Amino acid sequence: MCDWCLYSRLDQADIAKIQELPGVQIIKIPCLGRMDPLHVMMAFQEGIDGVVVAGCHPGDCHYKRGNLMAENRMTVLQTVLENMGRKGRMRFTHISTAERGRLPRLIGEMTESVRSLGPIELLE
């Protein structure tokens, strides 16, 4: 998750509640433009069942173009994951502090989606 997209005190309260959920971990980075798709691939390699990548809306990036670079990378990664049989296990979304309550809903939806897919099978 981009460190800039949800920064208000209310957002921080939502994030704290989400981090208390079993099996959910939020990793913040300064900008999604700095995130390498290999980070997502490594999560799956370690047995993580699903990954949500969340960043600022287009035009709202603190670093100007980081979210657009990330969106391009995530589109390619989505295709790679589908070809590997990992369809539905990674979701990319834009989110902002104006969308109060969206992150918990998104995490809940992703949790249910991944639960229906079942646990990921580790590649040997």
Domains of the chain by residue range: 9-99
- Give CA–CA dist 119/74, Å, rounded: 22
The answer to whether the CB of 38 falls within 8 A of the CB of 45 is: no
Q: How far apart (Å, rounded) are the C-alpha atoms in residues 110 and 101?
A: 15
Quote the pTM value.
0.86
Nearest to 32 by CA among 60, 6, 11, 61: 61
Q: What is the mean pLDDT of each run of 10 residues along the chain (124 residues)?
A: 82 84 89 92 92 92 90 94 93 89 91 92 57
- End-to-end, the C-alpha distance of the chain in Å comes to 29
Give the Cα separation of 118 and 49 in Å (integer). Answer: 8
